[in-house]
A and B are shown apart, each in its own frame.
Chain A
Amino acid sequence: MPSRKRIEVLGPGCTRCKETFRVVRHVVEEGGLDVELVKDESIERMMALGLMATPGLAIDGKVVLSGRIPKAEEVRQLLGVA
């Protein structure tokens, strides 16, 4: 394993964003993943990533999902959990 992945959940704190964070955290905890999970509510970070629809999910500074609440299965796939 190279370095720890940095996973960011982006959103200004609406219910959909909280739900997204919950889903991602669930996947991380369930898989016992050694990752850095953060929830960023700042507009500046969203803009730096070029995110236009929240909630968003970024892995190592790259947006992989935006504008909807992902399903756990999808997050597992994005994080490379079998």
Chain B
Amino acid sequence: MTTLASAATGTWRPTQRRSLALAAVTLVAAAILYTQLQRFAAFLTYDLAGLTRGSRLGSAAEFFLFEVPKVLLLLTGVVFVVGVLRTFFTPERARHLLAGRREASGNVLAAVFGIATPFCSCSAVPLFIGFVTAGVPLGVTFSFLISAPMVNEVALVLLFGLFGWRVAALYLGTGLAIAVVAGWIIGRLKLERHVEPWVWKIQAGGGGPETRKTWRDRLADGRAAVREIVGKVWLYVVLGIAVGAGIHGYVPTNFMASFMGRAAWWAVPLAVLLGIPMYSNAAGIIPVVQALLGKGAALGTVLAFMMSVIALSLPEVIILRKVLRPALIATFVAVVGGGILLVGYLFNAVM
């Protein structure tokens, strides 16, 4: 690895500066393009296709033509930036920082690291064991495990693009809060005995190498993240927006208010329950939900649904079962689910 790094600093310098500049220029160009999308969509819909302003088809088409490039552009930009930022965080570093931390401050730190560290749900078990055996308290480990999927960058982008920065910030803030508080509660409950006993006996090995990354590597990682994530979700986003556009143009206003509005007390728990078995379809669901919201669905219900889809997924629970006894799994689902319920009701009450 050292030879690789020195080779990089020796011969790749000019290329490195060039790729940094290229990345910056691309980001600026994308930002300019982004500000012109509304005008462009209107031009395509009304001037080029000749649809009537205010007509159902016209408003659905304009919605689609504006939202698709907007969301995809935003998604690509953010996934790239996040991909680059994430090269600065590794699970090994997070573990090193969290080992031996006290609760409370440890929970907060873990939740923040959970968002920043690249993580896939199939890594949940090795990560869990790696943390716990290194002396990271159980509750702190859970804060990490909860915040990692809860605050999802794709969901954050979609919320920002479709609902505005306030909702995105609320999602980020409450997601973090749930991770911190839920982890803290799990820590207080002293559930260590509900971790499968073999976990404590493991002698964890040294782990991977601390690779020194150049900016060229980091940008390449960012591009790889775009290929991997945007390549996987773009179709869902387009389909979701297409359905959303249909709702936007054709479903009467306030249609949703009757069953997803704030008046229906059971809307939030129902949304959470529906969300648990769903997994990683947030990308397609958010545009639909945004259109529903415009027709009278309540924001809290919508947020609860989204968080439940992303944070409490059946596949992850099944994976975690390998290391956790049912009692601890149930506590995990209950505490996180309870937090999401609270957020749902809170937003329905204040917004």
Do A and B bind? yes
Residue of B123, B129, B322 with most partner-chain A CB within 10 A: B123
Are B127 and A52 interface neighbours, CB within 8 A? yes
The residue from B4, B120, B322 contacting A16, defined by CB atoms under 8 A apart: B120
Residues of B within 8 A of A (CB): 4, 90-92, 95, 118-123, 125-127, 129-131, 133, 202-209, 221, 224, 228, 319, 322-323
CB–CB A43/B129 < 8 A: yes
Chain B residue at minimum C-beta to C-beta distance from A67: B118
Q: Name which residue of chain B comes closest to A10, CB basis.
A: B126
Quote the shortest CB–CB distance from A46 to chain B (angstroms): 5
Interface bits A61-82 vs B (CB < 8 Å: 1, else 0): 0011111110100000100000
Partner pick for B206 among A11, A16, A44, A50, CB 8 A cutoff: A50
B199 to chain A, nearest CB (A): 9
Q: Chain A residues near B121: list those with CB within 8 A.
A: 14
Q: A1 on the interface (CB 8 Å rule)?
A: no
Cross-chain contact B208 with A43 (CB below 8 angstroms): no
* With A52-B95, A67-B90 as contacts: A11 and B122 at CB distance below 8 Å: yes
Chain B residue at minimum C-beta to C-beta distance from A11: B122
Q: Which 8 A-B pairs have the closest CB atoms?
A: A50-B205, A50-B207, A14-B122, A52-B130, A63-B208, A52-B91, A66-B208, A46-B126
- By the criterion CB–CB under 8 Å, are A47 and B120 in contact? no
Q: List 6 A-B contacts (CB under 8 A).
A: A16-B122, A48-B202, A48-B203, A54-B126, A64-B209, A77-B4
- List A contacts of B4 (CB < 8 A): 77
- State in angstroms the CA–CA spacing of A71 and B224 once bound together: 9
Supply 10 further A-B pairs (C-beta < 8 A) apart from A54-B120, A71-B224: A13-B122, A16-B120, A43-B126, A47-B133, A50-B130, A50-B206, A50-B208, A52-B207, A67-B118, A68-B221
Residue A7 interfacial (CB < 8 Å): no
CB distance from A70 to the nearest CB of B (A): 10
* CB-CB under 8 A for A63 and B207, given A47-B202, A68-B118: yes
A11, A51, A66: most-surrounded residue (chain B CB, <10 A):
A51
Query: With A68-B224, A77-B4 as given contacts, are A52 and B126 in contact (CB-CB < 8 Å)?
Result: yes
Q: B334 → chain A, closest Cβ, in Å?
A: 25
A46 to B125 CA separation, bound complex (whole angstroms): 10
Whether A52 contacts B120 by the Cβ 8 Å rule is no
Please determine whether B92 and A52 come into contact, CB atoms closer than 8 angstroms: yes
B118 CB contacts on chain A under 8 angstroms: 53, 67-68
A49 and B205 within 8 A (CB): yes
Which residues of chain B have C-beta atoms less than 8 A from A46's C-beta? 126
A49 touches B207 (CB 8 A): yes
B residues in contact with A24, CB < 8 Å: none
- Contact residues in A for B122 (Cβ distance below 8 Å): 11-14, 16-17, 54
Q: How far is the CA of A16 from the CA of B224 in the complex (A)?
A: 13
Return chain B residues, CB-CB under 8 Å to A13: 122
Residue among A13, A50, A64 facing the most chain B CB atoms (10 A cut-off): A50
Give the docked Cα–Cα distance between A77 and B224 (Å).
18
List residues of chain A with CB within 8 A of the CB of B130.
47, 50-52
Contact with B along A21-46 (1 / 0, CB 8 A): 00000000000000000000001101
* Shortest Cβ gap from B88 to chain A (Å): 13
Bound Cα distance A3, B92 (Å): 31
B228: chain A residues within 8 A (beta carbon): 69
Q: Which of B123, B129, B224 contacts A54 (CB 8 A)?
A: B123
Kindly state the separation between the CA atoms of A81 and B62 in the bound complex, as whole angstroms.
53
Q: Once the chains are docked, how many angstroms separate the CA of A48 from the CA of B133?
A: 12
Q: Is the CB of B126 within 8 A of A47?
A: yes
Chain B residues in 8 Å Cβ range of A65: 208
Who on chain B is nearest to A12 by CB? B122
Q: Which of B123, B202, B323 contacts A67 (CB 8 A)?
A: B123
Given A47-B129, A77-B4, A52:B123 Cβ within 8 A: yes
Say yes or no: B322 contacts A51, CB within 8 Å.
no
| Alpha-carbon distance between A66 and B208 when the two chains are bound, in angstroms | 7
